[in-house]
């Protein structure tokens, strides 16, 4: 029998789930929702077979639009963490069993947040300098790469290669060979982490929408907004990793 969470009309949510269903931030609502639910599943707060609250109730608790919630639920469904049952008595349930995890490197998992910290430091600085220095040819090249990525949402290997090219090209726009090397190194380490998780098209589409906002700020020479957009982009990836990375025994 699936486990159903009590509705708000009968009982309050168990205290351990308060943080899972508290409001999320608006700028990274999709990624943070994936992180919240994915982490709760990994930690057993949402056990296999548990039925999630109804969409309307989840939207109210999380403070997000229904379209955002549905994207997150689809992403977690495609990664094997959730499954939906239609019809009477249906709903969204935590998958039982959960998808098998690839055997990750314990060292890699132990330092994954430091890898994200390093990426944040490099990429935010790159975004600021690119907004200051990028020429018209490079701006057009970056926009073309973002357009290519839109056509690769169902082919992660191709998407990831183009994604790396976009970030390295952004570093090239700074005219700093040191930053290009730093960006390449940071992207290499991120690739090792990203390879450990599922890649639903919804996650890739959200990431590329962030690319577009970032590149628009770079084109406007708006250094502050470029830095903010890049920080949100890096943080969003970190949230997805937090939700979907396997844990060590």
- Helix (H) / strand (E) element for 93: namely strand 91-94
How far apart are the C-alpha atoms of 89 and 135, rounded to whole Å? 58
| Shared-domain flag, residues 85 and 111 | no
Which pLDDT score, from 0 to 100, does residue 17 have? 60
Q: Which of 65, 94, 123 is the last residue of a domain?
A: 94
Q: What are the structure tokens assigned to 10, written together?
A: 């009968």
Instruction: Confirm whether 100 is domain-assigned.
Output: no
Instruction: Confirm whether 17 is domain-assigned.
Output: yes
Which pLDDT score, from 0 to 100, does residue 103 have? 61
What is the CATH number for 37?
1.10.10.10
Is the overall model pTM greater than 0.75, yes or no? Answer: no
Instruction: Confirm whether 234 is domain-assigned.
Output: yes
| Shared-domain flag, residues 14 and 134 | no
- Of all residues in the chain, the percent with pLDDT exceeding 90 is 61
Instruction: Confirm whether 25 is domain-assigned.
Output: yes
Tell me: the pLDDT tens digits for 186-234?
A: 998 888 888 888 889 999 999 999 999 999 999 999 999 999 999 999 9
| CA dist 180 → 65, 165, 183, 212 (Å) | 38, 11, 5, 21
Residue 135 pLDDT class (50, 70, 90 cuts): very high
Which pLDDT score, from 0 to 100, does residue 43 have? 64
| Shared-domain flag, residues 163 and 132 | yes
pLDDT over threshold 90, residue 19: no
pLDDT over threshold 80, residue 247: no
* Of residues 45 and 4, more confidently modeled: 45
How far apart are the C-alpha atoms of 82 and 91, rounded to whole Å? 10
| Shared-domain flag, residues 67 and 142 | no
Structural domain count, the chain: 2
Q: For residues 133 and 221, is the Cβ–Cβ distance under 8 A? A: no
Tell me: the pLDDT tens digits for 76-119?
A: 999 899 999 988 878 999 998 887 755 667 777 788 999 999 99
How far apart are the C-alpha atoms of 89 and 222, rounded to whole Å? 51
Which pLDDT score, from 0 to 100, does residue 244 have? 87
What is the CATH number for 219?
1.20.120.530
How far apart are the C-alpha atoms of 83 and 126, rounded to whole Å? 40
How far apart are the C-alpha atoms of 161 and 177, rounded to whole Å? 20
């Amino acid at each position: 029998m699936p486990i159903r969470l009590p509705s708000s009309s009968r009982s309050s949510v168990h205290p351990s789930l308060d943080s899972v269903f508290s409001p999320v931030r608006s700028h990274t609502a999709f990624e943070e929702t994936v992180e919240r639910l994915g982490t709760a599943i990994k930690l057993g707060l949402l056990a296999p077979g548990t039925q999630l609250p109804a969409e309307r109730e989840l939207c109210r608790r999380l403070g997000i639009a229904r379209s955002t919630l549905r994207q997150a639920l689809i992403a977690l469904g495609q990664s094997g963490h959730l499954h939906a049952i239609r019809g009477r008595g249906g709903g969204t349930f935590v998958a039982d069993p959960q998808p098998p995890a690839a055997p990750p490197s314990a060292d890699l998992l132990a330092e994954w947040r430091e890898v994200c910290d390093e990426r944040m430091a490099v990429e935010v600085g790159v975004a600021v300098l690119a907004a200051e220095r990028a020429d018209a040819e490079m701006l057009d090249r970056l926009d073309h790469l973002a357009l290519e990525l839109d056509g690769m949402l169902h082919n992660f290997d191709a998407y990831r290669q183009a994604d790396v090219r976009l970030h390295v090209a952004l570093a090239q726009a700074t005219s700093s060979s040191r930053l290009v090397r730093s960006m390449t190194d940071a992207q290499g380490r991120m690739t090792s982490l990203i390879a450990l998780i599922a890649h639903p098209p919804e996650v890739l589409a959200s990431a590329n929408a962030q690319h577009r906002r970032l590149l628009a700020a770079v084109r406007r020479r708006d250094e502050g907004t470029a830095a903010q957009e890049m920080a949100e982009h890096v943080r969003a990836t970190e949230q997805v990793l937090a939700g979907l990375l396997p844990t060590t025994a």
